[in-house]
Each structure stands twice: as structure tokens, then as C-alpha cells.
Amino acid sequence: MAGMSIFNLGHCLHKIKRKREKLIYDNFDENGFGVPFDLAFVQSTLVCCGILSTQSKKVGGWIDQWNDLCFSLRIFWLDVTMNKLFSGPMKSGKSLELLKIADSLQNDFLAFKPKTDTRDINFIKSRNEKFHQMPCRMVSKAESMIIIWESNPVQTVFIDEIQLFDDSILAVIGFMKINDVDIFAAGLDKDFRGEAFKLGSNHNAFDLEIEFDEVQKLLAICETCGKPAAFTQRLENGIPSNYKSELIAIEGAGNYSYESRCSICHVVPGVIK
């Protein structure tokens, strides 16, 4: 449904140009005058036109509609925005977005994950049956991606669970951008405490976000109340983890499990407010 609406809207967007540092839609009038529209303008226009509904009775349906819409828009912006980060809580479809883009490519690419993530070794996976998985290289250090790319300089690189790298990932992204490599990455924006995910001792997820031309915030469904969820709840033996628990704990290791939660249902015992 969203894809068809976007296709119809495409008649109004006659031409799209790639601008190095900025996403621009050029809507050319009869005199050839290009009027720039940024992404926020296009999204708000879709809401006003009824193409994207904000009044859906089912919250989950609204979130799926929004995520599907953003993918449909990629028909237009894939050739424009080439450094994109998908960010949000667990179970929000971040890895799925990478798989969708990879499925649409005709050229070779490289895909990476940190070895810290021991859940799906050598694969980037999603819960979606149509876009289930793709092979990837497991690396212990972010710098290893540069070495691998230099031996196989492809146009596109995918990075999943990017938040598990230390702050050297910032230099890797800079290297890729200098070499005109298209980067698509996915990762958590907040840790189980609800704070910006730390990258080493001096940087966090916000520093990571500013390295990308575009950051798409994804939402999940709160597994407690069903509302939109932007937080990740860590559980130990089914009980919310204490604030002082170790920062990184992979799901399935020990007694750890994770749920997506809204801000009200997200609980962190021991937090100092």
C-alpha cells in the first residue's frame, strides 16, 4: 500500500540529483527551475496528503507503515544518501533494513559484524522470512574492515551491530567516506540503561550519528503495553537488570534476555535520578 502511494507521488518528483553533503529533491517546473525539498518536508507532506497515516488504530500497524514507507522512499533517495545509519531499540527492524538494501543491489558488497556479537556468527539476520539473512565477515577490531576493503575495494559496505565497536569505528567511517564508499549501518542508539550507547571511553552513539548523512530512527513495539518502543529492556532471569550491571551482555549468553519497551515500561533498578 505504502509502496504504491509513493510510486504515485513520484510523478511530482521529476528528477533527483546527488549532492555530496545534502539530500535534495529537485522538483523542476516548466522553466527548469529546481526547488530543493529536504526529507523532513517530504515526510510531512506525505502525512498531510494522507499517504502516511498517524491515526492508525493499531500502533503496531502504524510503525510497520512508517518503516515500510521509509523503505519505499528509498526508490528516490538511494542514489542520493549513501551514508545511512538505522538506529533504534532491539527488535525494531534495523538489520532488516540492511538486508532490504543489500537485496536491491546488483553489485558486490562487503558486510561486517563485530565478533563480540556471538548470536549469529558469519550472518546478518532478521526475523523477516523474505529478507532473512546474508553472510558477513566477523571482525574483532573496526580497523580490520579497512584492511579487508583494501583487498576488495567494493562500492558498498554494510555494518551491523555497529554500537559494539569502540570509537575507532569513527575513523573507519571517515576512511570509507574519503574513498567514496557507500556505508549502511545498523545499531542500538541507547544501552539497557536508556543512555547513549558508549563507544570507548570518550564517545557515544551520538558521535556516531553525526558521521552519517542520514540517521533513520526506528521504533519497536513495547512488549509490555503494545505502545511504540524506543528503549531496550535487559532482563536477568526475567528480572530487570540493575543499573550497575555490565554494559555489554549478549542475548543468550548466561541468563540475559532483551525486550523492547516504551519509556513508561522501561525499568532500571538502581538508577539515580
Residues labelled as active-site residues: 161
Give the Cα separation of 108 and 122 in Å (integer): 17
The three-state (H, E, C) secondary structure of 118-186, written as one string: CCCCCEEECCCCCCCEEECEEECCCCHHHHHHHHCCCCEEEECCHHHCCCHHHHHHHHHHHCCCEEEEE
Task: Give the other-Cβ count within 10 Å of 215's Cβ.
Answer: 19
Query: What is the torsion angle, in degrees rounded to the nearest 10, for the CA atoms of residue 167, residue 240, residue 271 and residue 218?
Result: 50
Q: Which of 85, 78, 41, 110 is nearest to 186 (CA)?
A: 85
The enclosing H or E element of 66 equals helix 59-77
**CA 106 to each of CA 78, 102, 103, 155, 160: distance values in angstroms, whole numbers, following the listed order:** 13, 9, 8, 11, 20
Q: Which residue has the cell 532482563?
A: 235
Q: Is-contact 56 65, C-beta < 8 A? A: yes
Q: Which of 121, 25, 31 is nearest to 76 (CA)?
A: 25
Which strands make up the sheet holding 231-236, listed edge to edge? 239-240, 231-236, 256-261
